[in-house]
Amino acid sequence: EAQVTQNPRYLITVTGKKLTVTCSQNMNHEYMSWYRQDPGLGLRQIYYSMNVEVTDKGDVPEGYKVSRKEKRNFPLILESPSPNQTSLYFCASSPQGPVGYTFGSGTRLTVV
Amino acid sequence: QKEVEQNSGPLSVPEGAIASLNCTYSDRGSQSFFWYRQYSGKSPELIMSIYSNGDKEDGRFTAQLNKASQYVSLLIRDSQPSDSATYLCAVRASWGKFQFGAGTQVVVTP
């Protein structure tokens, strides 16, 4: 089944403890992206990647890191999480071209 | 000013009626436009894409694009209770920059 897989689905952590949210797609898509979704603010793009080793900042990159060492994987790293990073996170992928993203199931992160 | 704007709603629509959703965008260079549906607690699901001016129909959904006015709309005909969801407008301005509006909540009432 073609899909974008994120793990974990739910995560509660403490301020300052480094964490990684994994994302993997099995569709051989070139483009991958991370979003966070907050009530009233909608989906905001954190980082995106065109292909292996090619990444760029989205609208809200502060406090996040990404890497794209393999085409299928695009992990999101929070090196020192803070409570304002409590949010619902989505990973998405798409093939090259003017097409829409396919989204993963989401990761609900709570930082206390 | 947000780059992609939508009315937040909720938009209350009687069952069987037409729901009309609007979206404006600020980047004139944008080339591709999308509508997503998101049920509460679920991930966004792509329902329509449109690339050129005019109308595009798919089943009960019609997307309309006017690049001169920087305006995209979505019509849902014969609205059903299962159409109750939040509808997100998205704009692809460049290869990676893919921005969403905050969404319009639609409530279809029996």
With the CA atoms of A33, A42, B72 and A30 taken in that order, what torsion angle do they form, in degrees rounded to the nearest 10? Answer: 10
d(CA A75, CA A20): 7
- Chain B neighbors of A44, CB-CB under 8 A: 100
Residue A110 pLDDT: 98
Chain A residue set in contact with B, beta carbons under 8 Å: 31, 33, 35, 40-45, 48-50, 56, 58-59, 90, 96, 98-106
Q: Are A48 and A58 in contact (CB under 8 A)?
A: yes
Average pLDDT value for chain A? 95
Across B22-33, b (16+ Cβ under 10 Å) vs e yields bbbbeeeebebb
- Chain B neighbors of A106, CB-CB under 8 A: 42-43
Interface test with chain A among B98, B99, B104, B105, by most A beta carbons within 10 Å: B98
Give the model confidence (pLDDT) of B50-103 as tens digits. Answer: 999 999 999 999 999 999 999 999 999 999 999 999 999 999 987 778 899 999
Asked if B100 and A49 come within 8 Å (Cβ–Cβ), the reply is: no
Residue B1 pLDDT: 59
Q: Are A78 and A19 in contact (CB under 8 A)?
A: yes
Asked if B36 and A49 come within 8 Å (Cβ–Cβ), the reply is: no
State percent of chain B over pLDDT 70. 98
d(CA B71, CA B108): 24
d(CA B70, CA B76): 20
CA distance B44 to chain A (A): 6
- Chain A neighbors of B49, CB-CB under 8 A: 99-100
Q: Are A48 and A60 in contact (CB under 8 A)?
A: no
- According to DSSP, the β-strands at A87-94 and A102-103 are antiparallel
Q: Centre a 10 Å sphere on the Cβ of residue A14 and count the other Cβ atoms it contains.
A: 11
- Chain A neighbors of B23, CB-CB under 8 A: none
- Those residues of chain A that have pLDDT short of 50 are none
Residue B2 has pLDDT above 90, yes or no: no
Q: Which of residues 41-60 of B touch A (CB under 8 A)?
A: 42-46, 49, 51
Give the model confidence (pLDDT) of A81-112 as tens digits. Answer: 999 999 999 999 999 888 899 999 999 999 99
Residue A96 pLDDT: 87
Residue B81 CA, distance from chain mean position: 18
HSE, side-chain direction, 13 A CA sphere, residue B94 = 9
Residue B7 pLDDT: 86
State percent of chain B over pLDDT 90. 82
Q: Are B65 and B104 in contact (CB under 8 A)?
A: no
